[in-house]
Structures are given as structure tokens and as C-alpha cells.
């Protein structure tokens, strides 16, 4: 394991002797993380994974965290570099991630998420899901898709773009990776961490991303939507979220294929994301 003491010391304006107990944390899908201590406080160092420089704009991430600062929404970031993507945040002690199989956890996270969305926070950059599908595809540099019907599936999913654009939507800062692992319970509080993909979008995309990562079936997807919309969900909005599940499923599948170029294998997760693209296209157009 590489010793990051000098990196941490420079960022935190400490000496290397001040840095104690550096240890690796569970490897994420995108990055590496290390826990360390300074004095009585624990921190987390995030190191961008291989290939992330080509897909994540770290200046934009810095802009997002500047907007989130002191709002009690995300982790408390004490250092972040737009140059290399290193991030240091205060460790959330005794934190646990959301359990997507626990309805009380899911309801609490969706209530929190909706509260974040209703703050209508904004940054100066946005993301187009359909553009990003093509972008990840272009990064494969001609490597053929492992799915033989990819071209047909893509054509179908792209038919949903006009349907989505015709529906009413809000526009605010959207996490874009609002998966259960990024919702942390700390006592009676929730924090939504890791905003590196965040941008302006329809915030209902975050509901779709939670469903995809949780590998929910149709009944569970509807349960999730109902947790977010405690007062009831308009049928047009539910339809729109189904469309987002199809589009984001293809997006996540292409993301997995890009990560595979760097030795990351996501196996069944990747296959399931592609299956969502096909399944929810059919649900959207035939239900």
C-alpha cells in the first residue's frame, strides 16, 4: 500500500508525523479510499481510480461541494483538488449505509433526498443522459459491446428521449449516483456523500439510479417511487421515472464496459443494468 502521509500533510498543512493510522477502506466502484487520523479526529482520503480523469471533471466536483458547504447534506470536505481529484473529508463515525431491503431505511432516504431536491441548489454545469451514453460508448474506442443486440437496444432507448422531453420536469442539482451506499445514517441524521457525478438535471433521475443499484424489481421500484412521493405520484411522473430507469440502465452498462478497460469487472451488475434498459423500455412504451 502506498503511503500517502506526505500528500495528506501538504493538503492539511501538517507534518507527516501528525498523520497516524492510515488504512485502506472498502474499495468503491470508482475510487480508492483511506482512513487516517490527525489528533483526535478521523478523516477519509479519496484517491481517484484509474480512468476516472477521462470521465469526471474535478473542477465541476469542486464547484458542487462549494454549493453544498455547511448545508448539512453531504460529508464535510476539508480539502479537495481540482488538479488531481484528491479529496479529504471528516470521517462520519459509526455511520452505516442505507439498506435497500429495509423499507424504513428507504423511506427515510427518499424523504431526505426529496428535501435536498426541494432546496433547488444550482451549479453552472449540467449533464445529458443520452449524450453521456454516447460519450461512454466513444471511450470504448471500437471495442464491441458484449451484448449482441446492443445497437437495437440503444435505438429503442433513444426513442424515449422525445417522450421525456415532452413531460414536465424541474431542474436542479442532481446527485446522479444516489445509490444506497452513498446514503449514510449517523445517529438520527442522514448524509448523502460522493457528489463527483453531480450536475444540473431532473432530480427524479436520482430515484432511477437508486432503483438500478438496488436491483429492484417492478414492485420495489413502485415502492421506491411511493416513498419519495408520500402524497402520491402523478402517473406521468411515474412513467418518466420508468424512462429514466431504461436510459440510466444503458448509461450504467456503458460505464461498466469503460471501467472494464481498466481491469474492473462488474459481472452480473453490468448485465443487470443492460437488462433494465431493455425491460423498462418495454414497460414505458407498452404499459
How many domains, the chain? 2
Model's pTM, two decimal places? 0.95
What's 49's domain CATH number?
Answer: 3.30.200.20
Q: Are residues 180 and 231 in the same domain?
A: yes
Q: Are residues 102 and 242 in the same domain?
A: yes
pLDDT tens, position by position, 64-93: 999 999 999 999 999 999 999 999 999 998
Q: Are residues 156 and 42 in the same domain?
A: no
What's 134's domain CATH number?
Answer: 3.90.1200.10
At which of 37, 62, 90 does a domain end?
90
Is residue 1 scored above 60 in pLDDT? no
How far apart are the C-alpha atoms of 273 and 241, rounded to whole Å? 15
Residue 41 class from Cβ within 10 Å (0-12 exposed, 13-18 middle, 19+ buried)? exposed
Q: 19 is in which domain, residue-wise?
A: 5-90
Structural contact between residues 168 and 202, judged by C-beta atoms closer than 8 angstroms: no
How far apart are the C-alpha atoms of 119 and 135, rounded to whole Å? 30
The pLDDT assigned to 124 comes to: 98
Region 230-240: mean pLDDT is 96
Query: What does residue 48 show for φ and ψ, rounded to 5 degrees?
Result: -60, 140
Q: Angle CA(133)–CA(134)–CA(139) in degrees, nearest 5?
A: 100
Q: Are residues 47 and 116 in the same domain?
A: no
How far apart are the C-alpha atoms of 183 and 85, rounded to whole Å? 21
pLDDT tens, position by position, 142-167: 899 999 999 999 999 999 999 999 99
CA distances from 17 to 20, 22, 78 (A): 8, 12, 19
Q: Are residues 46 and 149 in the same domain?
A: no
How far apart are the C-alpha atoms of 279 and 62, rounded to whole Å? 36
At which of 29, 56, 90 does a domain end?
90
Q: Are residues 119 and 157 in the same domain?
A: yes
Cα four-point dihedral sign 118, 124, 128, 134: negative
Q: Are residues 31 and 132 in the same domain?
A: no
At which of 90, 121, 155 does a domain end?
90
Q: Are residues 61 and 129 in the same domain?
A: no
Q: Are residues 116 and 229 in the same domain?
A: yes
Amino acid at each position: 500500500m502506498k503511503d500517502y502521509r506526505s500528500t495528506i500533510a501538504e493538503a492539511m498543512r501538517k507534518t507527516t508525523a501528525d498523520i497516524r493510522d492510515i488504512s485502506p477502506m472498502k474499495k468503491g466502484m470508482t475510487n480508492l479510499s483511506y482512513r487516517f487520523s490527525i489528533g483526535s479526529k478521523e478523516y477519509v482520503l479519496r484517491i481517484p481510480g484509474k480512468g476516472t480523469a477521462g470521465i469526471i471533471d474535478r473542477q465541476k466536483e469542486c464547484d458542487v461541494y462549494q454549493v453544498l458547504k455547511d448545508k448539512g447534506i453531504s460529508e464535510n470536505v476539508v480539502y479537495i483538488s481540482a488538479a488531481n481529484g484528491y479529496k479529504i473529508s471528516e470521517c462520519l463515525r459509526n455511520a452505516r449505509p442505507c439498506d435497500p431491503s429495509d423499507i424504513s431505511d428507504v423511506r427515510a432516504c427518499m424523504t431526505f433526498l426529496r428535501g435536498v431536491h426541494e432546496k433547488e441548489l444550482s451549479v453552472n454545469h449540467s449533464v445529458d443522459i443520452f449524450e453521456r451514453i454516447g460519450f461512454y460508448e466513444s471511450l470504448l474506442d471500437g471495442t464491441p459491446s458484449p451484448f449482441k443486440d446492443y445497437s437495437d437496444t440503444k435505438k429503442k432507448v433513444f426513442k424515449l428521449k422525445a417522450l421525456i422531453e415532452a413531460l414536465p420536469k424541474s431542474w436542479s442539482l442532481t446527485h446522479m449516483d444516489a445509490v444506497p451506499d452513498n446514503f449514510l445514517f449517523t445517529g438520527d441524521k442522514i448524509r448523502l456523500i460522493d457528489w463527483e457525478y453531480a450536475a444540473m438535471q431532473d432530480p427524479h433521475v436520482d430515484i432511477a439510479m437508486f432503483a438500478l443499484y438496488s436491483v429492484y424489481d417492478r414492485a420495489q421500484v413502485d415502492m421506491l417511487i411511493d416513498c419519495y412521493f408520500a402524497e402520491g405520484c402523478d402517473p406521468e411522473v411515474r412513467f418518466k421515472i420508468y424512462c429514466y430507469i431504461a436510459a440510466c440502465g444503458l448509461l450504467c452498462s456503458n460505464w461498466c464496459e469503460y471501467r472494464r478497460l481498466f481491469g474492473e469487472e462488474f459481472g452480473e451488475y453490468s448485465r443487470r443494468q443492460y437488462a433494465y434498459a431493455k425491460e423498462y423500455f418495454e414497460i414505458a412504451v407498452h404499459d
